[in-house]
């Protein structure tokens, strides 16, 4: 009876370990490029459940610099962003702030989701990792 209990305990321990590994959070820290805009680069970092991001892109020769902060819940990150460098037109059109909600792939190499500007316009976003882990 003792050996049977020990065997069951070992099987349960192995099963628990396998399940915990399967549900472990994938690290997404790194440098990414937006698939829809090959010149757009963003750097993501996670500290606890807090997500930090800063990015750069160029439209018609004019650079844009932006940053954001938000949260991670499971494989989803959401953060608000603000464009700090760019044409004054962005401020006039109220598109200098917004929100991204992205889902991290199981291998951590891509993130897909939606960007919504403060004026309500939105679009798809796909971020692909540029750097190896």
SS in 3 state form for the chain? CHHHHHHHHHHHHHHHHHHHHHCCCCCCCEEEEECCCCCCEEEEEEECCEEEEEEEEEECCEEEEEEEEEEEECCEEEEEEEEEECCHHHHHCCCCEEEEEEEECCCCCEEEEEEEECCCCEEEEEEEECCCC
Domains of the chain are 26-129 (2.40.128.20)
> What string of pLDDT tens digits covers the 133 residues of the chain?
555 555 665 444 454 444 334 445 788 899 999 998 878 999 999 999 999 999 998 877 888 889 999 999 999 999 999 988 776 565 555 558 899 999 999 999 999 999 998 888 899 999 999 976 5
The model's pTM is 0.75
């Amino acid at each position: 009876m003792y050996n049977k209990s020990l065997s069951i305990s070992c099987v349960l321990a192995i099963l628990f370990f396998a399940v915990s590994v399967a549900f472990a959070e994938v690290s997404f820290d790194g440098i990414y490029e937006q698939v829809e805009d090959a010149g757009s680069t963003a750097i993501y970092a996670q500290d606890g459940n807090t997500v930090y991001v800063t990015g750069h892109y160029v439209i018609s020769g004019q650079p844009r610099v932006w940053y954001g902060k938000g949260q991670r819940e499971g494989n989803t990150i959401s953060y608000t962003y603000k464009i700090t460098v760019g044409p004054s037109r962005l401020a006039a059109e109220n598109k200098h702030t917004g929100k991204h909600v992205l889902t991290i792939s199981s291998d951590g190499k891509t993130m897909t989701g939606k960007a919504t500007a403060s004026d309500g316009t939105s679009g798809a976003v796909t971020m692909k990792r540029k750097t190896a882990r």
